[in-house]
Structure 1
Amino acid sequence: MGLVAGMVAGIDDDRLVDVQVVAAQLVGNAYRHAGAPRRLRVYRLPDGDLVRIEVGDGSPSLLPILGRLATPERGRGLLMVNRLSVNWGHRRDADRKAVWAEVRLT
């Protein structure tokens, strides 16, 4: 996750881990459940206190579903995203979608 660290240089180590975990879960979901093309974007929002992690993919009809703790081997990725982010969701277009999450830096 060195790529993600480079995108948000200068943030606290604990917050960096949160950003990396959220990015890993969103990217992993895109590869497990959605089609190409896939694209990761990580950027600070204008107020400077939030980082947005956004993963686009080519499967607009496969929307994210919050998993359950009762399924130990799968389905916990979005639960982690939900816990580590202040807000998350998705945006759908005709031929693609993006799943995003915002992580507070302070």
Structure 2
Amino acid sequence: MKIHIEALHFTCIIGILEHERQNEQKVIIDVAIEYDFEDNVFINYAEVAEFIKTDMQNKKYLLIEDALQDLSRALKNKFSKINTLYLKITKPSILPDCKVSVSNITNFQS
């Protein structure tokens, strides 16, 4: 099975610039989780979404890359059935003429 969470948006502290450390900014998270569904043993997508939001707001990351790596590990620890995880973090307002994103795919089976 694959869970898709698209355009999860909230505000948090993320970035290395002075104004990013002082003011929350909007982020958009896209997630895809592959896992083995067995007899009603499933991953609750509402719990995943809330976990991501809470983690990002509590940890106040400097770099998107750090957030991706840390969040991947934290999600796997919380939801052990995850086999493959795609995460994309977008900062839609950091540059005036584009959205900036960083993404990563983690295969926990290898």
Q: Do the two structures share a fold, i.e. TM-score over 0.5?
A: no
Larger-Rg structure? 2
TM-score normalised over the length of structure 1:
0.28
TM-score when normalising by structure 2: 0.27
